[in-house]
Amino acid sequence: MTHVIDYRNRIILAPMVRVGTLPMRLLALHYGADLVYSEELIDYKLLKCKRIENELLGTVDYIDDDYQIVFRTCEKEKGQVILQVGTCSPERAVQVAKFVEKDVAGIDVNMGCPKEFSLKGGMGAALLTQREKVKAILTSLVQCTHLPVTCKIRVLEKLEDTISLGKLIESTGVKAIAVHGRTKEERPQHANRNYVIKAMAESLTIPVIANGGCGEIKSFDDIELFRQATGAACQPQLCHQGHG
């Protein structure tokens, strides 16, 4: 059975390293988020985990060899939690999707993280210039899992290059694309390029999720202003700038 998620006009908790764990996701849902993303989880690490149903806590836990919890979920976020994976391999991406598909509502591929760890591993923002690999990863996921597939990117220096990449991503069959309005070289002190996100929303037929605007969001009402400025669904980082 294919899962269906409506990404249009949604408020979405963005993926944030060391923040997007179960307590934060549940808090975000309580205060009005429609969907919540896990922090970025690396494919290798997930695939080494064991899936354990924790009857005492009522959770499903993915535990690594050191007995550390890599990912935890529960019934309260069922149908609303998206797992974000860091990967550079179509094969491992599909393995991850099949491994977790009973416990999450969708799979998101991180194609925007600018951190050295991701770049050296060929993940995150390193994929922005690897169009064939982007196509291979997303096409494989779309074809091999019943979960809706999305990805998150950063803008490129040229608007036309960003739109071209967006159209390539759209052609793979993904259900939505999140766009962080900074390049991989830019940091939170740089202005978010909302106009690029808006151009993407106008150029693509799939939903575009606006990301990177937390500097502009001080209240719930500001989320709607960010949505209007970008013409997209809204994925504010509700506490700080995420790494993706």
* The one catalytic residue among 113, 151, 214, 234: 113
Total number of residues shown for the chain = 244
Q: Which amino acid is at 109?
A: V
Assign 209 to helix, strand or coil. strand
CA angle 69, 70, 76 (to 5 degrees): 80
- Please say if 234 is a catalytic residue: no
Q: Helix 159-171 vs helix 131-144: angle between axes, to the nearest 10 degrees? A: 30
Strand 149-154 versus strand 106-111 pairing type = parallel
- Burial (CB < 10 A; 0-12, 13-18, 19+), residue 23, is exposed
Which residues are marked as active site?
113
